[in-house]
Amino acid sequence: MKSEKGKKVILIIDDEEDILKLCKIVLEKEGFKVYTSQVAKLGIDTATSVIPELILLDIMMPVMDGWEVLKILRAEDVTKEIPIAMLTAKTDFKDKIMGIQEGAIDYISKPFLPQELIFRVKRIFQEIN
Ligand SMILES: [Mg+2]
Residue 16 CA, ligand 1 centroid: distance in Å:
6
* pLDDT score of 16 more than 90: yes
At 40-84, the pLDDT tens digits run: 999 999 999 999 999 999 999 999 999 999 999 999 999 999 999
Angle between helices 66-75 and 40-50 (to 10 degrees): 30
Distance from the alpha carbon of residue 13 to the mean position of ligand 1, in angstroms: 9
Domain that holds residue 43: 9-124
CA of 5 to the centre of ligand 1 (A): 31
Residue 2, pLDDT > 70, answer: no
Q: Is residue 42 part of a domain?
A: yes
Q: How many folded domains does the chain comprise?
A: 1
**CA 64 to centroid of chain Cα atoms:** 15
Could you tell me if residue 52 is inside a domain? yes
pLDDT for position 105: 87
- Distance of CA 112 from the midpoint of ligand 1 (Å): 14
> Which CATH number goes with the domain that contains 70?
3.40.50.2300
Q: Ligand 1 centroid vs 48 CA: distance in angstroms?
A: 21
Q: Are 64 and 15 within 8 A, CB to CB?
A: no
